[in-house]
A = this chain, B = another copy of it.
Amino acid sequence: MKQIKVSNNVIRRLPRYLRKLDELKVAGVDRISSGELGHQMGLTSSQIRQDFSCFGEFGQQGYGYNVTALRGEIASILGMNRDFSVVLVGVGNIGRALIENFCFEQYGFHLMSAYDVRPELIGRNIGGIPVHDISDLTRSLDGTKVDVAVLCVPKSMAASASEDLVRLGVHAIWNFTNIELNPSNPDVIVENIHFSDSLLAMGYYLSENMDIASAAAAKLNKQE
């Protein structure tokens, strides 16, 4: 094991390993080699072994990896057994979708409460989660520490809401707004879900494909 400093690339692959291992478990597979795992995931076996070796020795020579054990190791590396506390700010369409559909518990996160400015939402209960007045953020928590804030407010309120949360002492912000947050406290972790960035990157690949296709068509025309 090295454990000097694990690169972002490795970290971003860990959740994918987790998903694959869960899938294998469901399929009744109880052991797998790096070769087979790589084949199924479109990675090389050596990359997989290198990735895991950042954190320990989880395999056995001549045998491979025990699916359940490896799954447990990765879950632990990702902090899934830490029970992080979560609040959600901004109960619009996307906020509500997360409250009602996203299974925070499954990933070791515990959604405690939601916040909004709209009077018609405050006091209600959505998907089992109480919605409070956002200006009551500090008071309503009554000293309970908050690890993570999910930020789903409109773009125009994002910066100020983010600062409120930083002042409250959250350790991380899961940012669904379409701006780049720059928290005054640089220790606060910001994890972005930028729909538009994803769509635009897809637009690039689409354009590229179409250019290739049209170039091929032009070439074909010329040959005739």
Contacts and interface: CB of A to CB of B under 8 A. Distances in A.
Contacts of A216: none
A93 B84 contact: no
A108 B193 contact: no
Contacts of A210: 82, 171
Q: How many copies does the complex hold?
A: 2
Given A148-B206, A204-B14, A93 B97 contact: yes
A29 interface: no
Contacts of A209: 171, 187, 189
A178 B22 CA distance: 12
A205 B193 contact: no
A19 B178 contact: yes
Given A187-B209, A191-B205, 20 more contacts: A11-B204, A11-B205, A15-B196, A15-B201, A16-B180, A18-B200, A41-B180, A78-B200, A78-B201, A80-B200, A82-B210, A84-B203, A93-B96, A94-B97, A94-B101, A172-B202, A172-B206, A174-B202, A189-B209, A193-B198
The 8 closest A-B pairs by CB, nearest first: A79-B207, A93-B97, A15-B197, A79-B203, A191-B202, A15-B200, A78-B200, A94-B97
21 contacts: A23-B179, A82-B206, A82-B210, A84-B203, A84-B206, A92-B97, A92-B101, A93-B96, A94-B97, A104-B199, A106-B196, A107-B196, A147-B206, A148-B206, A172-B205, A174-B198, A189-B202, A189-B209, A191-B201, A191-B205, A193-B195
